[in-house]
Structures are given as structure tokens and as C-alpha cells.
């Protein structure tokens, strides 16, 4: 990774294991030939790790809305000479058009801004509109959009039908900033046939969330279409539902 003038680059420079859990998941789950869609790629940590796992037979579609951060993503792809990553400089939501976007120095927390006042404006697209260019099935859809997860899922209803797993950020504070709660987001990844799980990658374990969901704080969840298939592929063991991660 290139050390760019970003807070996320600094985080990784100071703590290279800052995203270790996600990297362990990608290494255990992805196989050569898989397809990955990365919504909210930032500088490309997930996209690069996924590209290494899926190989030239596979494909990674990396989507980053912030114009400056997008150039860093492109440079990291170029520097690693990955030809299996396709990049898109746009935001993903539940309609087509343009949307206001923040320009914070904490670049890993930039997000869509509801309302008309914003330092940046970026193109907005539904994933269902973009997805016909993506081969199917999709082994993994990763969504990290600082509270805009609900609109992303609403605009990806058709795409979800060919997705095996969804890795998404669940953060009550971020959701509330966008005008909804985690309870609103709960049914969307689950209604098309998924079940959401907590992950313990360093212990090779995953556990379904109880219903109703307990307070989660801020964490990554994995929605799986078939837990048995995931377990067979990764060798991870599913635990009984528990109260807290």
C-alpha cells in the first residue's frame, strides 16, 4: 500500500493489523474465480486483498465516491499491478442522480450528506443499475458507507438475488445520522434469504444474532445465504446465538 496523506493510511502505518479480521475472512472465504463487489473501497485495502485471493480468473469491482480518495485507490491498484480490479468513482444508493458528499480530514469517515449543503457533489447510482456489468454469481458484496447502508441495500434488491454473502458495517450512530436505526436495516439483508452473523475470524468462529437484535455498537456483520456452505468453504465453526460479540 502507498502511504497517502490520509487518516486511514496513517492508521495502517501505525497498526498494520488494524483490518486483520476482515483480511482473515477474505483469505478463508474467497477462492480463485470468485467475484467481489466492494462498495466504499476507500484506498483499496479490501479490494487488493480480495483481488489476490480471486486471482486472474476472478474479478473485483471497487467503488469509491470521494474523488481524491478514488485517485489513491487507483494508484494502489496500479502499484500492485492488479488487472482483475475494475474501479468506479461514484456513490451507491437507492436512486440515480447526484448527491452531496463530505470532505473530512478523517477520510475513512467521509459520507453522503443529506440536504443541499455539501463541499462535494458526486454521481449516485443504484447497484442494480451497475450490476449488469458484474458477472454472477457474486461471492461477496462488501458495504461500508458510514450509515448509508440502508439506501445501498434498497437499491440492490435484484443484485442480492445472486449474492452469496454480504459483509456490512452495522453502526447505530451512523444509521441515526442518516435518519434510521439498525432495526430498519435488519430485515433488508435477511429478507432475501440471508441470516446475519457476528464474526470471530481469529478463532475461526461465527455466530447468528439473536432476534431481536441486541445493542451492537459498531461492528461488521456477515449476512450468509447458506451457513453450512460457508462453514464447509472456510472450515469455520458456527456457534449458538449469543447476547454480545
Is the pLDDT reported for residue 171 higher than 70? Answer: yes
CA distance 114 to 94: 13
Q: Are 163 and 105 in contact (CB under 8 A)?
A: no
Segment 99-106 shows an average pLDDT of: 87
pLDDT of residue 188: 64
pLDDT of residue 242: 59
Segment 213-230 shows an average pLDDT of: 87
Could you give all domains of the chain from N- to C-terminal order, each with its CATH number? Answer: 7-238 (3.40.50.150)
Segment 225-231 shows an average pLDDT of: 94
Q: Which three cell numbers stand for residue 197?
A: 452473523
CA distance 224 to 194: 5
Assign 3-state DSSP to the chain and report helix, strand, coil percentages, each to 5: 35, 25, 40
Average pLDDT, the chain: 88
Question: For the ranges 145-154, 171-180, 187-196, 220-229, which has the lowest average pLDDT?
Answer: 187-196
What digits encode the pLDDT tens for the residues 20-54? 899 999 999 999 999 999 999 999 999 999 999 99
pLDDT of residue 209: 83
Measured in degrees and rounded to the nearest 5, phi and psi for residue 243 equal -80, -35
| Secondary structure of residue 177 in the 3-state scheme | helix
What digits encode the pLDDT tens for the residues 57-97? 999 999 999 999 999 999 999 999 999 999 999 999 999 99
Phi-psi domain of 67 (left: phi exceeds 0; alpha: psi -120 through 50; beta: other): alpha
pLDDT of residue 175: 77
Nearest to 85 by CA among 49, 139, 123: 49
> Which stretch of DSSP H or E encloses residue 97?
strand 97-101
Q: Specify the pTM.
A: 0.90
pLDDT of residue 108: 80
pLDDT of residue 142: 96
Q: Are 197 and 207 in contact (CB under 8 A)?
A: yes
pLDDT of residue 41: 95
pLDDT of residue 190: 62
Amino acid at each position: 500500500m502507498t502511504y497517502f496523506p490520509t487518516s486511514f493510511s496513517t492508521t495502517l502505518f501505525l497498526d498494520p493489523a488494524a483490518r486483520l479480521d476482515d483480511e482473515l475472512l477474505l483469505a478463508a472465504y474467497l477462492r480463485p474465480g470468485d467475484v467481489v463487489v466492494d462498495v466504499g473501497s476507500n484506498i483499496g485495502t479490501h479490494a487488493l486483498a480480495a483481488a489476490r485471493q480471486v486471482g486472474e480468473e476472478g474479478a473485483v469491482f471497487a467503488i469509491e465516491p470521494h474523488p481524491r480518495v478514488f485517485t489513491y485507490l487507483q494508484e494502489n491498484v496500479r502499484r500492485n499491478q492488479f488487472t482483475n480490479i475494475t474501479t468506479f468513482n461514484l456513490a451507491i444508493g437507492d436512486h440515480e442522480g447526484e448527491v452531496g458528499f463530505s470532505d473530512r480530514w478523517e477520510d475513512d469517515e467521509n459520507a453522503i450528506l443529506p440536504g443541499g449543503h455539501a463541499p462535494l457533489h458526486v454521481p449516485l447510482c443504484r447497484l442494480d443499475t451497475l450490476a449488469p456489468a458484474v458477472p454472477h454469481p457474486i461471492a461477496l458484496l462488501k458495504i461500508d458507507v458510514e450509515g448509508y447502508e440502508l439506501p445501498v441495500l434498497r437499491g440492490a434488491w435484484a443484485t442480492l438475488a445472486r449474492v452469496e454473502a454480504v459483509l456490512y458495517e452495522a453502526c447505530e450512530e451512523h444509521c441515526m445520522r442518516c435518519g434510521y436505526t439498525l432495526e430498519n436495516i435488519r430485515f433488508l439483508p435477511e429478507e432475501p434469504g440471508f441470516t446475519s452473523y457476528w464474526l470471530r475470524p481469529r478463532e475461526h468462529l461465527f455466530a447468528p444474532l439473536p432476534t431481536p437484535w441486541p445493542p451492537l455498537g459498531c461492528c461488521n456483520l456477515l449476512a450468509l445465504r447458506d451457513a453450512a456452505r460457508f462453514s464447509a468453504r472456510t472450515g469455520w465453526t458456527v456457534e449458538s446465538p449469543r447476547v454480545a460479540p
